[in-house]
Amino acid sequence: MFEAFTLSFRKDISLVELPQNKEIILQSSTRKLAFSQPASGLQTALKTLYDTGGTATELKQLVQQADGIYGMLKFHSYLQKFISLGWVCHSVLPFATAVPQVWEYEFSAPVVDCQEQFFTLSRFAYLHQVEGQMVLESPLSKAKVILPDWRGVAIVAKLSQPQSCSTLVSEIPSITLEIVQQFLSLLLATQMLSQETYKEVENATLAQWDFHDLLFHTRSRQGRHTNPTGSTYRFLGKIEPQPVVKPPMSKTVIQLYQPNLERLKTADIPLTQVLEERRSIRNYHSCPIAAQQLGEFLYRSARVKNLINREYSNRPYPAGGGLYELEVYPVINTCVGISSGLYHYNPIAHQLEQLCERTKDVEALLKDAWGASGQQDMPQVLIVISARFQRLSWKYEAIAYSLILKHIGVLYQTMYLVATAMNLAPCALGSGNADLFATAAGTDYYAESSVGEFMLGSQSTDENKPEASG
Ligand SMILES: Cc1cc2nc3c(=O)[nH]c(=O)nc-3n(C[C@H](O)[C@H](O)[C@H](O)COP(=O)(O)O)c2cc1C
């Protein structure tokens, strides 16, 4: 099988000839191999791998003719080395090319039994267009498969149902059994197929991964790809970054109560007590939370403490890069002193900007939260947290969304602790409707939509009658 593939260097391997030193240098981003005074057959084989590619048999014949049997054996071991370094693409021309996505990845193709076996595409494999070519990828694979010919795409489409080699040969025009065999071997080598005898659902670990979760996990962490990751600033000079805080959304504002932090530093209950007493509470006192309490809660958990160079800020919770992409939207059901409706929290002015009254969408947001929390009390205040996505993705590549979810976690915990210290009833939620929120708040779904929800209200026990502190 190995002999049948056309082998070529990955596009990110460079080949430099130094005639004065009679040297050929091959280089990846992490490694350099120098061949000093290479024999003529070896030189030609290396250049063929770099240019057009060739099968292992063709390349070895070429070296043997020029350099003899020992030259060929030496080349064979070099070829093995290139493959084990993840430098070599394997192609079934013109249908498919497997390109390693990582270094040190060894492509190893199994023999396909065309008599007995049936093949199905893995549910984790996905086909998409990249720079004008169809590319098959999978979070299970350390390689991607480029499909330049439509018949390759047609084979992949057929593989949504179990297929034998012979059905593929009979249904795809102008394709031989040998090509189908190689194509399937390449898909098996790159973990794109699940054979009918091996069902992914039978593997309890994989069965519990959603496709999108596993893809997100593999692409937002390092290890399974060599894509750019982290603070790459790829839009610098091309697109303006998002501002440090969102410009005001409405002229109808409510100035919120600002607690006396100096007094709270001594009056607050100790940290250990807050941590030990923190719990999720989904029932409320009949007397709703008051505007003063909501003001104190937002000030202590989400305000801008100070701006740095008008680009970054400090807030009570930490955030990657100091960028603070999260926005806080209180949805008021019942609150003494604030009428029911949807508001945006301005974290610099410490104001609520009213976006709308209690519309059908506002009602639906509250009802969703009530459903997600076991249909107990309707939240008195539902705090919807949205993300201005481009505030992070302008700077960070591959990890922007995973950072947002981490930020939601630290904000939730800050809100839980502040609510506990204030004797309020807090409860985080794990799901919410981002489309509904975008419609209610009038945001562009792709620029800013909801990523978290947090319920807040007055505590129901008599001894904890809600009272503003601070
Ligand atoms: C990220 C996150 C998501 C949650 N989602 C929900 C939810 O959708 N509905 C709900 O009633 N509680 C939800 N909770 C609250 C948990 O059920 C609660 O934290 C857990 O049972 C532990 O109880 P405790 O918070 O009282 O210590 C969530 C908590 C977190 C941190």
Contact 396, 235 (CB under 8 A): no
Q: What is the pLDDT of residue 375?
A: 93
Q: Are residues 118 and 142 in the same domain?
A: yes
Determine, yes or no, domain membership for 209: yes
Whether residues 255 and 137 share a domain: the answer is: no
Q: Which domain holds residue 71?
A: 2-92
CATH number at residue 313: 3.40.109.10
Among 175, 210, 226, residue at a domain's last position: 226
The span from the CA of 228 to the CA of 154, in Å, is 31
Residue nearest to atom 10 of ligand 1 (CA): 373
Output the CA 424–ligand 1 centroid distance in Å: 16
Each residue of 434-451: pLDDT tens digit?
A: 999 999 999 999 999 999
- The CATH number of residue 148's host domain is 3.90.930.70
Distance 280 CA to ligand 1 centre (A): 6
Rounded distance, CA 460 to CA 424, Å? Answer: 9
CB atoms within 10 A of CB 102: 13
Ligand 1 site-directed mutation target among 281, 383, 416, 427, most atoms within 8 Å of CB: 427
Q: Final residue of a domain: which of 65, 92, 119?
A: 92
Residue whose structure tokens are 């050929």: 24
Verify whether ligand 1 is closer than 6 Å to residue 422 (CB atom).
no
- What is the predicted pLDDT for the residue at 469? 38
Q: Ligand 1 atom 30: the closest Cα is on which residue?
A: 428
Atom of ligand 1 nearest to the CA of 431: 8
CA 87 from centre of chain? 26
Q: How far is it, in rounded angstroms, from Cα 55 to Cα 242?
A: 51
Asked whether 374 lines ligand 1 (CB < 6 A), one says yes
Shared domain check, 62 and 203: no
Query: What is the whole-number distance in angstroms between the Cα of residue 282 and the centre of ligand 1?
Result: 10
Q: Report how many domains make up the chain.
A: 3
pLDDT tens-digit map of 318-327: 999 999 999 9
Query: Could you tell me the two tokens for 363?
Result: 């009602």
Q: Is any ligand 1 atom within 6 A of the Cβ of residue 455? A: no
Q: Is the CB of 410 under 6 A from ligand 1?
A: no
Q: What is the number of alpha carbons within 13 Å of residue 284 lying toward its C-beta? A: 27
What is the spatial distance between Cα 351 and Cα 322, in angstroms, rounded to a whole number? Answer: 22
Q: According to the model, what pLDDT value does residue 202 have?
A: 58
The pTM is what? 0.92
Mutation to probe ligand 1, out of 277, 279, 280 (largest number of atoms < 8 A from CB): 280
Within this chain, do residues 19 and 58 fall inside the same structural domain, yes or no?
yes
Measured CA to CA, the distance from residue 418 to residue 403 in angstroms comes to: 23
CB proximity list for 130: less than 8 A, separation 6 or greater: none
* Residues of the chain scoring pLDDT < 70: 1-2, 195-202, 462-470
Q: Considering only CA atoms, which of 211, 238, 233, 2 is closest in space to residue 124?
A: 211
Do 316 and 417 reside in the same domain of the chain? yes
Degrees (nearest 5) of the Cα angle 292, 271, 451? 60
pLDDT at 1: 46
What single string gives the DSSP state of each residue in 155-224?
A: HHHHTTS-B-HHHHHHHSTT--HHHHHHHHHHHHHTT-EEETTS-GGGSHHHHTS-HHHHHHHHHHSSSS
Ligand 1 centroid–CA 434 distance in Å is: 19
CB of 182 shorter than 6 A to ligand 1: no
Is 366 found in the same domain as 305?
A: yes
Type and span of the H or E element at 457: strand 448-458
CB 414, CB 316: distance < 8 Å? yes
Q: Which of 168, 196, 226 is the last residue of a domain?
A: 226
How many CB atoms are located within 10 Å of the residue 279 CB?
10
Q: Are residues 18 and 45 in the same domain?
A: yes
Instruction: Report in angstroms the alpha-carbon separations of 439 from 230, 253, 372, 380, 432.
Output: 32, 21, 20, 21, 13
If you measure from the C-alpha of residue 379 to the centroid of ligand 1, how many angstroms do you get, rounded to a whole number?
A: 14
